Amino acid sequence: MSDYQHHWKDGTPVHLPLGKIVCIGRNYAEHARELNNPVPDEPLLFIKPSTAAVHITRPLDFPRNQGAVHFETELAVLIGRPLTNASTSEVEAAILGFGLALDLTLRDVQSKLKDKGQPWERAKGFDGACPLSPFVAADKLPRDNIHFTLDIDGQRQQTGDSRDMLNPIVLLIAHMSSQFTLQPGDVVLTGTPKGVGPLVSGQTLSLELEDVLFVETTVV
């Protein structure tokens, strides 16, 4: 059972419940290419359940007998107001915070599901599949040029910048809200840049968001 609760960077709790985690596949062209996937002509959305969320600093654990588990480092957006068919200005006003997430993925399971044209939940929704960092207030960062990195055991593994997103943050969230309502406390994951790979026991992962957030975790 997840006892996850949103926090700000200074450790104070965010008094909003996590309802759902709405994600996009293939929001960076170079990541779509590295997995030999076409770039979709409309956003490829999926949802992780709230039970997938864990604090990122807790050692990462995941199913061990279903093939490779890949890390995907993603910019996470904390939603602060209800959004239904939202305009871009309504989305702007609803962005409460930014953080970092790992969209952990059972890659071999996902490949089989993709081959069969089946939904991805088995690969993306397991307990612990969404480690989340604390959040920083949205006004600390620009919208269109947010830089983040992942190092594993001291080696740079992923570098992301929101300006490389095929669907920029605000338009992406507006689109999501045209498909289903986003609630205060929901989290949006904005896709991974290239450089994904398998987690291996004992690795140390260091994630950095601009110069405002740094978190470190290990693999069980």
Q: Which residues bind Zn ion (CB under 5 A)?
A: 72, 103, 192
Minimum CB separation of residue 74 from Zn ion in Å reads 6
Measured in degrees and rounded to the nearest 5, phi and psi for residue 194 equal -70, 165
Least distance to Zn ion from the beta carbon of 13, Å?
Answer: 26
Q: Minimal distance in Å, beta carbon 191 to Zn ion?
A: 6
State which residue, 45 or 137, has the beta carbon closest to Zn ion: 45
Give the distance from CA 82 to its chain's centroid.
Answer: 20
Q: Of 72 and 186, which CB lies nearer to Zn ion in the complex structure?
A: 72
Q: Which residue is nearest to Zn ion (CB)?
A: 103
Nearest C-alpha neighbor of 43 from the set 145, 144, 166? 166
| Residues 92 and 178 sit within 8 Å (Cβ to Cβ) | no
3-state secondary structure of 207: strand
Angstrom CA distances, 195 to 34, 71, 149, 159, stand at 8, 9, 11, 8
Q: Which two tokens stand for residue 131?
A: 């480690």
Query: Do residues 130 and 54 make contact, with C-beta atoms less than 8 angstroms apart?
Result: yes
**Residue closer to Zn ion (CB basis): 89 or 166:** 166
Q: Indicate the residue among 44 and 93 with the shorter CB distance to Zn ion.
A: 44
- 128 burial via Cβ count (<10 Å: 0-12, 13-18, 19+): buried
- Which of 158, 217 has the CB closer to Zn ion? 158
Work out how close the CB of 100 gets to Zn ion at its nearest, in angstroms, rounded to a whole number: 12
- Shortest gap between Cβ of 99 and Zn ion (angstroms)? 15
